[in-house]
Amino acid sequence: MAHTFRRCSLALIFIIMWLLIKAKIDECKKGDVTVKPSRVILLGSTVNISCSLKPREGCLSYSRRNKLILYKFDRRINFHHGHSLNAQVTGLPLGTTLFVCKLACINSNEIQICGAEILVGVAPEQPQNLSCIQKGEQGTVACTWERGQDTHLYTEYTLQLSGPKNLTWQKQCKDHYCDYLDFGINLTPESPESNFTAKVTAVNSLGSSSSFPSTFTFLDIVRPLPPWDVRIKFQKASSMSRCTLYWRDEGLVLLNRLRYRPSNSRHWNMVNVTEAKGRHDLLDLKPFTEYEFQISSKLHLYKGSWSDWSETLRAQTPEEEPTGMLDVWYMKRHIDYNRQQISLFWKNLSVSEARGKILHYQVTLQELTGGKVMTQNITGHTSWTTVISRTGNWAVAVSAANSKGSSLPTRINIMNLCEAGLLAPRQVSANSESMGNILVTWQPPRKGLSAVQEYVVEWRQLHPGDDTQIPLNWLRSPPYNVSALISENIKPYTCYEIRVYALSEDQGGCSSILGNSKHKAPLSGPHINAITEEKGSILISWNSIPVQEQMGCLLHYRIYWKERDSNSQPQLCEIPYRVSQNSHPINSLQPRVTYVLWMTALTAAGESSQGNEREFCLQGEDTAALGQAPDRLAHA
């Protein structure tokens, strides 16, 4: 594209220059301009330019008044008084240079006498890399070559092809940038081993040069057309994704190569086949996967060139029965003395395991003591919740189903995951690794280490109150690992409750910790909603800081107080943060003194601004509670 644009642009420039030259050069009625040795010269040559007036074409008065001036384009380069002027010119650039001779008389404008254009160029270089091709059995022979450097002169190219029985074809190209010619003839396969010889010759005013001959046969230069009408058929009765690829080819094709890949892959699988006759079987394709298929053709095992690749065929392999097993986890919640809520969670199968679109999941709940199936449920979600008795031994099985069948069920026994204190992991810690990762480490339990079959690290966003709707995440770790990097659904400035479970065959122990991947000081402090007096002390109650303003895991609350209108430093009480705590007693206030109280919260990154201020006066034992004093705006 860029090459074609350059050729058109240069051709347009050449035409415009030619029109300008024709417009500037008059018919030379008043004189002549001669150039020696020639108006077409080799780069670096010297030329002599002469300008002479015809009789009675000078100035009207004495001839010495004639002043002849020689211009190179619009720049004056020489002048002489008299009827003629001679100038020697060197160092002309490649291309066309215009010289104009003018006559200057006293008290009159310059008169154009005549002009000449001098073309500077080079002889053509030997054309290189001559190659010929015939596209398709019914195509025509076309050849390309490399011209070498630009000659800057009109150059003619002649392409000649010689064949058996002294047959000769010839084609000429008069384009300044010619490097391609089509003979318009078709070579036929009657004599596939017959030799043909091509040669290209470049000629201009300064010389000529011919390429080395290029000799070839029909099989050497005929490039088949790309295969067409590519189709695929999947074998329904196959236990694996097998298919047959069909296509159409030209009649003389002997060899094909096939390439295929999943649409989301960069790597091609290649297959070479001989005498395929337009079909080939492919084995072991991944089920329920979109593939891309392309085919190329060749006439001979060793001669000639491959066709272009066919248009891409895209097709999806059929579904097959899922493989693998679901990763299932669960939570228990006591409802009352004889009922408990069981919440099951499971992760999606990978694409390679699902082998199709998962339509639903089947959950089976069984009471092991009686061996009776209590509940069977079909759900399209990846969680399921039910209420069961707190007595008995319970087990669940979960499997995934697509249109071809179901995966093997994952079976788990429901037990108290934190019941065995001896199995509880020790020294659990959670440290930020980066914006979206938390490194959880622990030490094995002191006793029962040999019974540990695996660890499960569970985490969910800390949400005071009802957390049944908060997504649960988990990963499994072998018993020899004592660390895990958690990253799934981890957001910065968010606190997570992290539990590490050590599981044996029939019991478990757990430890928990709070952790975040990134933190900063909370955006606000707790809001004090009530202060009550109880037997000489006060009980402060507050509203929790909104989760989105905590900016990480809270470590402490601070309660500040000082006497109203006092300039002294406030006293404070620091309370370790607990999720469910929203009140705390203070017993160091003096009776009948009005105090101002406020609260802040702290993360590992720092302390929040203060919350609202409340005034309180401890009345003594005669007064049970504070009247509702108005809040004062919090100070930064």
Element (DSSP H or E) covering residue 257: strand 255-262
Tokens describing residue 559: 């309660």
Give the largest CA-CA distance in the chain: 142
Integer-rounded Cα radius of gyration of the chain: 47
Q: What is residue 623's predicted lDDT score, i.e. its pLDDT?
A: 41
Q: What is residue 62's predicted lDDT score, i.e. its pLDDT?
A: 57
538 CB-near residues (< 8 Å, 6+ apart): 531, 532, 585, 586, 587, 589, 616, 618
Closest Cα partner for 422 from 393, 442, 451?
Answer: 451
CB 620 within 8 Å of CB 536: yes
307 CB-near residues (< 8 Å, 6+ apart): 223, 224, 225, 226, 227, 296, 297, 298
Per DSSP bridges, beta strands 556-563 and 508-515 are unpaired
User: What is the distance between the alpha carbons of residues 385 and 394, in angstroms, rounded to a whole number?
Assistant: 14
Q: Which domains does the chain have, with CATH numbers?
A: 31-121 (2.60.40.10), 128-222 (2.60.40.10), 224-316 (2.60.40.10), 328-410 (2.60.40.10), 426-515 (2.60.40.10), 527-618 (2.60.40.10)
Range list of β-strands (E), 368-491: 372-379, 383-389, 394-402, 405-406, 410-414, 426-434, 437-443, 454-461, 473-477, 483-486
Residue 588's alpha-carbon distances to 67, 373, 566, 592, in angstroms, are 120, 62, 17, 13
CB 615 within 8 Å of CB 595: yes
Sites in the chain below the pLDDT cut of 50? 1-3, 5-6, 8-10, 12-13, 16, 20, 23-26, 622-636
Fill in the amino acid letter for 442. Answer: W
Residue 333's alpha-carbon distances to 386, 470, 489, in angstroms, are 11, 15, 24
Range list of β-strands (E), 44-183: 47-53, 67-72, 75-81, 84-89, 95-104, 111-121, 128-135, 141-146, 156-162, 168-173, 180-182
- Give phi and psi for 86, each to the nearest 5: -125, 140
Instruction: Say which DSSP state 488 is in.
Output: T
Closest Cα partner for 347 from 462, 439, 475?
Answer: 475
Q: What is residue 468's predicted lDDT score, i.e. its pLDDT?
A: 59
How does pLDDT run across 325-372, given as a tens digit for each residue? 999 999 988 889 889 999 999 999 999 999 999 999 999 998 888 767
